[in-house]
Amino acid sequence: MKIFSLRPHATSPLAGIQLGGAIYRQQNSISIWFQLRGDLAQIKMGKGGQQGRCHDLWRKTCFEVFIARPESPAYWELNVSPMGEWNIYSFSECRRGMQEEVGIEQVSVTTYQTEDSFTLHCNLCLDKILFPNYPLQIAACAVLQDREGLCSYWALEHGEGPPDFHNRKKFLLNI
């Protein structure tokens, strides 16, 4: 299991929030946990969504996982909302060839919330898109939308300039 902490981009409007998680891999199944702590009242978490595929999740509060093979420019982007909506896209290279990944038909999503914490857990099976035990590089990220509609961007590490979750140099977790 790899434990991680996400850092807000320098332009983040949110204060008093901590975001971290863990990722665990068993053969070709991946389990991911994200945990928000702090003043959650300032974050727009969404209402009444339905679990299942949904597009444009990155435009609001969303947890993201990027998955790549070390020797390939191709990668996948998993987006999961606090309401359990999700989607996964494949890319042939950085920001190119984006298409919905039909090889993954289901992502299991569960959430738990208290006054000052929110935990999201999801499981996905990669059997239809990767061979078992293939080494993977992972980037864990999040978009948190505040009550005014402004988004802050959280990642393992940020580079210079605007946030860029697709930057392969930031796929820092090896599983």
For the chain, which domains are there? Answer: 2-174 (2.60.40.1190)
Please give the mean pLDDT across all residues of the chain: 95
* CB burial of residue 54 (10 Å; 0-12, 13-18, 19+): middle
Q: Contact, 153 vs 143, CB < 8 A?
A: yes
Which backbone phi and psi does 58 adopt, to 5 degrees? -70, -5
Which residues neighbour 161 within 8 Å (Cβ) at sequence distance 6 or greater?
Answer: none
- Residue 42 corresponds to which tokens in the numbers above? 């300032």
pLDDT tens digits, 77-128: 999 999 999 999 999 999 999 999 999 999 999 999 999 999 999 999 999 9
Within 13 A of 55's CA, how many CA atoms are on the CB side?
4
Q: Give 151's strand partners.
A: 145
> Which residues of the chain fall short of a pLDDT of 50?
none
State the pLDDT at residue 152: 96
β-bridge pairing 17-26 and 137-145: unpaired
